[in-house]
């Protein structure tokens, strides 16, 4: 059994705010705290460092991680953007095992190496990573996680301090550091799962890549890729055509052996630009001949429906059990400017999980698994669900 608690507070005195948020989270626990996450927005880097440390001291958990958020925090069913606030998540329970780590980058004769990963254990279930966007090669780390972490699901996000490079602060147990990445490996005789909502809906029919050059899609199903896009746009409603003007994406299937390709089977990547001379599409990922792709649209309605679909397995839990908590790493573009409310993701996750304790922050990039592999995402919501 896992017991979870969350607390959030708003105030200019960030250390005092952190103590209040931590106390509120502890009040929800029925077990001693084993693990904590702290997210702080506002003030100077020194203010954030003091707040992270104050929350850790108040909680007293052996393992704590946390980070700055230049945009905002999530907690108490709310997303809190652009004001000084602290959000805290705590978890406890005899069956929960936690190992914390601090990842640093070291130069090698050839390039660089990431050091600090703990050895894996048979009952490990999920790793959570909070990475400084300026000093840590998160995209390369995530790409290599299948080897370095043995395929363990990884969730988390990029952290950005409020004053740019050098201003990010990260909490690792009793220390506050200013570079690298911090994280925990969670496991034990409990149930913890990481899922990602990419916030899109497919339009048109999936097509096979028949000619490409790295991230340049030249042909789809034997015809120029740009022509396929132009043909699709003619079939869309005026409303969807308007969405396509700013929210058109490409979904790439990574399991070609599936009988059918459903909405959650596509890895969503941005359409970077159109290459009119080559009648091609340039996307934010390399593709290969034979892969299946689908055009996708992203808007508030599609993103809301996709988040609900992603959490559907927990939305009708058995009477005797429900998820006890969740960590939510939501893109900093998914707040009020996108949904017309800062609370959308926080409320949706809480409600779909039957009232579970939810805390997190607005990230500058989200980490999470799709189709069994870890990726760095944009405009997504990455969720770690702690089942009861």
DSSP 119: P
Is the overall model pTM greater than 0.75, yes or no?
yes
pLDDT at 259: 56
Q: Are both 65 and 186 inside the same structural domain?
A: yes
274, 297, 320: which is the final residue of a domain?
297
The one-digit pLDDT tens for each residue of the chain (388 residues) are 899 999 999 999 999 999 999 999 999 999 999 999 999 999 999 999 999 999 999 999 999 999 999 999 999 899 999 999 999 999 999 899 999 999 999 988 888 889 999 999 999 999 999 999 999 999 999 999 988 898 899 999 999 999 999 999 999 998 999 999 999 999 999 999 999 999 999 999 999 999 999 999 999 999 999 999 999 999 999 999 999 988 899 999 876 555 566 666 789 999 999 999 999 999 999 999 999 999 999 999 999 999 999 999 898 655 556 899 999 999 999 999 999 999 999 999 999 999 999 999 999 999 999 988 999 999 999 999 998 7
pLDDT at 172: 98
What element of type H or E holds 20? helix 14-27
- Residue pair 119/42 in contact (Cβ under 8 Å)? The answer is no
Domain residues for the domain of 283 are 201-297
275, 297, 319: which is the final residue of a domain?
297
Q: What is the dihedral of CA 79, 81, 83, 89, to 10 degrees?
A: 40
Strand order of the β-sheet with 357-363 is: 78-81, 72-75, 357-363, 325-331, 381-387, 191-197
Q: Are both 152 and 270 inside the same structural domain?
A: no
297, 327, 353: which is the final residue of a domain?
297
- Beta-sheet pairing, 63-68 with 35-41: parallel
Q: Are both 108 and 19 inside the same structural domain?
A: yes
Q: Helix 344-352 and helix 300-310: axis angle, to 10°?
A: 30
Q: Are both 279 and 319 inside the same structural domain?
A: no
Q: Are both 190 and 264 inside the same structural domain?
A: no
Domain count, the chain: 2
Concatenated DSSP letters of 167-204? ---EEETTEEESSSEEEEEEEESSEEEEEEE---EEEE
Q: Are both 192 and 216 inside the same structural domain?
A: no
Q: Are both 372 and 277 inside the same structural domain?
A: no
pLDDT at 263: 62
Q: Are both 269 and 377 inside the same structural domain?
A: no
């Amino acid at each position: 059994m896992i017991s979870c608690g969350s607390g959030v507070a708003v105030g200019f005195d960030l250390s005092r705010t952190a103590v209040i948020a931590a106390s509120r989270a502890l009040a929800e626990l029925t077990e001693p705290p084993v693990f904590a996450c702290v997210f702080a927005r506002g003030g100077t880097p020194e203010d954030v460092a003091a707040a992270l440390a104050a929350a850790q001291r108040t909680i007293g958990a052996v393992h704590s991680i946390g980070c700055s958020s230049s945009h905002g925090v999530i907690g108490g069913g709310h997303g809190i953007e652009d004001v000084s606030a602290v959000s805290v998540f705590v978890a406890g329970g005899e069956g929960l095992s936690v190992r914390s780590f601090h990842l640093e980058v070291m130069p090698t004769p050839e390039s660089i190496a990431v050091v600090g990963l703990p050895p894996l254990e048979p009952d490990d279930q999920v790793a959570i990573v909070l990475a400084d966007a300026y000093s840590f090669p998160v995209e390369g780390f995530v790409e290599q996680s299948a080897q370095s972490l043995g395929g363990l699901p990884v969730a988390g996000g990029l952290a950005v301090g409020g004053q740019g490079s050098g201003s990010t602060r990260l909490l690792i147990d009793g220390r506050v550091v200013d570079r690298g990445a911090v994280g925990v490996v969670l496991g034990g005789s409990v149930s913890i799962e990481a899922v990602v909502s990419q916030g899109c809906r497919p339009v048109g029919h999936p097509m096979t890549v028949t000619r490409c050059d790295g991230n340049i899609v030249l042909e789809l199903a034997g015809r120029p890729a740009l022509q396929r896009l132009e043909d699709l746009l003619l079939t869309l409603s005026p409303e969807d055509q308007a969405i396509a003007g700013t929210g058109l994406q490409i979904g790439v299937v990574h399991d070609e052996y599936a009988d059918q390709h459903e909405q959650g089977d596509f890895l969503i990547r941005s359409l970077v630009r159109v290459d009119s001379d080559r009648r091609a599409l340039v996307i934010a990922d390399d593709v290969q001949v034979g892969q299946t792709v689908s055009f996708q649209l992203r808007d508030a309605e599609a993103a809301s429906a996709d988040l609900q679909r992603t959490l559907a397995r927990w939305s009708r839990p058995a009477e005797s059990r429900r998820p006890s908590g969740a960590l939510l790493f939501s893109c900093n573009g998914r707040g009020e400017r996108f949904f017309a409310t800062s609370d959308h993701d926080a409320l949706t996750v809480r409600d779909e999980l039957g009232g579970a304790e939810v805390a997190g922050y607005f990230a500058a990039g989200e980490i999470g698994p799709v189709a069994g592999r870890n990726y760095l995402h944009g405009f997504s919501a990455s969720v770690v669900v702690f089942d009861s």
